Amino acid sequence: MSATKFQGWLGKDEESVKGKMQWGEFEPKKWTEDDVDIEISHCGICGSDLHMLSSGWGPTPYPCVVGHEIIGKAVKVGKNVTHIKEGARVGVGAQARSCLQKDCPDCSNGIENHCHRGVVNTYGSVYPGDEGKSYGGYATHNRTNAHFVLNIPEGLDSADAAPMLCGGITVFSPLKNYGCGPGKTVGIVGVGGLGHFGVIFAKALGADKVVGISRKEDKKDDVLKLGADQYIATDGDKDWAKHNAQTLDLIVCTVSSEKMPLNDYLSLLKTKGTFIQVGAPDGGKLPNINAFTLIASGIKVGGSAIGSPAEIAEMLQLAADKKVKPWIQKRSMKEANQAVIDMVDGKARYRYVLEN
Ligand code: NAP
Ligand code: ZN
């Protein structure tokens, strides 16, 4: 039997992030009876796609098809798969595999997203053994292990659901795990794709007060319309940190710049507050943190990676129940290169979703 071929936008080198991906064929991972083949209808454009196309996090195993906010129809379902039916509307986020062993402290505790033995990302990873490489969703089809394929609840639009699978869950998970809810004031730093979900989900989880914090002044009306109670434009007030010091219980930060004003962000926390970093700078570099910033206020700094399949399912159901409506802009899959250029230029308001 000849190998299956899918088609998609191939990044062939670091230049691909400048709108130079090339449409072509690729061979997906070797089929196993644990897998699902998906005919893709939608795929969001995540900031991570840019890091990967440009080898920002280390050498990318080109050719690479990015995209890990995938929605589509299950067109082939492995014999070992019970929870996905052929023809179902399904989704895949940023993770394609973990070890799933009973003795794994992460997988056995429902935090597959932190598995230290065998995470395979939806794109740009090489599977162990001879299964080949993982390829993402700027494509016609995707093949992923069913454990990381989710049914999409009725009532959620496919284009809306797509960016929740990475952008949404990456903020939903730390908001939930670090106590966002009634009685809490929550800050979301960097109101882009992830950050706009941060504002929406912090509200949906019942926070008393949600504050959007980003550079651009012209985002103010949008962020308030998204549901934030306050917006801080750091470009608009040189004393923004002083004016808002010690006002927040929890901050989720989506900014990925090595030059971000991290100590100023931390100064917004109340005593014993928590700061969770999800933005992933090139090379992993963050600014230095002054020890007295941590000590004096007794604050905690942590990080978070996407979310587990169970958390994603919980978020999708909450979104369907509460009629959560992200702000997306649909782009044709054919214009993926231009959409990537626009994403690099910070033009997305607030997530581009490619449509086949
Ligand atoms: P995005 O849509 O580009 O949003 C990032 C936002 O950060 C921008 O809209 C920008 O808004 C703001 N920002 C503030 N200061 C900035 C600065 N100095 N430089 C650049 N931007 C600045 O990107 P995204 O899709 O939300 O992704 C954000 C980051 O999260 C990426 O690094 C991505 O790889 C990472 N990520 C991590 C995980 C995880 O599991 N931890 C999962 C998904 C994505 P203003 O211009 O208004 O400031
Ligand atoms: Zn992502």
pLDDT of 208 > 80? The answer is: yes
Mean pLDDT on 98-125: 96
Q: Is the pLDDT of residue 342 over 70?
A: yes
pTM flag (> 0.85): yes
Q: What is the pLDDT of residue 118?
A: 85
3-state secondary structure of 30: coil
Does the pLDDT value for residue 3 go beyond 90?
A: no
Query: Residues 127-151: what's their mean pLDDT?
Result: 96
Q: Is the pLDDT of residue 36 over 80?
A: yes
pLDDT of residue 188: 99
Mean pLDDT score, 63-81: 98
The reply to whether omega before 350 is within 30° of 0 (cis) is yes
The pair of structure tokens assigned to 158 is 């496919």
Q: What is the mean pLDDT of residues 247-273?
A: 98
Query: What is the pLDDT at residue 218?
Result: 97
Ligand 1 neighbour 192 (Cβ under 6 A): yes
Query: Can you tell me the distance from the alpha carbon of 16 to that of 312, in angstroms, rounded to the nearest whole number?
Result: 30
Residue nearest to atom 4 of ligand 1 (CA): 192
Q: Would you say the CB of residue 92 lies under 6 angstroms from ligand 1?
A: no
What are 221-244's pLDDT values in tens digits?
A: 999 999 999 999 999 999 999 999
Residue 330's DSSP bridge partners are: 353
Tell me what pLDDT residue 58 has.
Answer: 96
Encoded tokens for 180: 């966002």
Q: Given CA atoms 97, 100, 106, 109 in this order, what sign does their dihedral have?
A: positive
Q: Establish whether residue 279 lines the binding site of ligand 1, counting it when its CB lies within 6 angstroms of any ligand atom.
A: yes
Tell me how far the alpha carbon of residue 122 lies from the centroid of ligand 2, in angstroms: 10
CB atoms within 10 A of CB 34: 15
| Cα 343 to averaged position of ligand 2 atoms, centre (Å) | 13
Q: Is the pLDDT of residue 8 over 70?
A: yes
DSSP symbol at 299: -
Given this model, what pLDDT does residue 1 score? 54
Mean pLDDT of 119-134: 95
pLDDT score for 87: 98
- pLDDT band of residue 85 (cuts 50, 70, 90) is very high
DSSP 6-18: EEEEEB-SGGGGG
Average pLDDT of span 255-278: 98
> What whole-number percentage of the chain has pLDDT above 90?
98
What confidence score (pLDDT) does residue 114 get? 97
Q: How far apart are CA 30 and CA 220, in angstroms?
A: 48
pLDDT score of 55: 97
pLDDT at residue 2 is higher than 80: no
Beta strands in 190-307 (DSSP E): 209-214, 230-233, 248-253, 269-277, 300-303
List CB contacts of 40: < 8 A, sequence separation 6 or more. 70, 71, 72, 137, 139, 140, 141, 142, 356
CA of 167 to the centre of ligand 1 (A): 10
| pLDDT bucket at 216, cuts 50 / 70 / 90 | very high
pLDDT 10s digits, 305-319: 999 999 999 999 999
Print burial letters for 268-296: b (CB count within 10 Å at least 16), e (below 16).
bbbeebbbbbbbbbeeeebeeeeeebeee
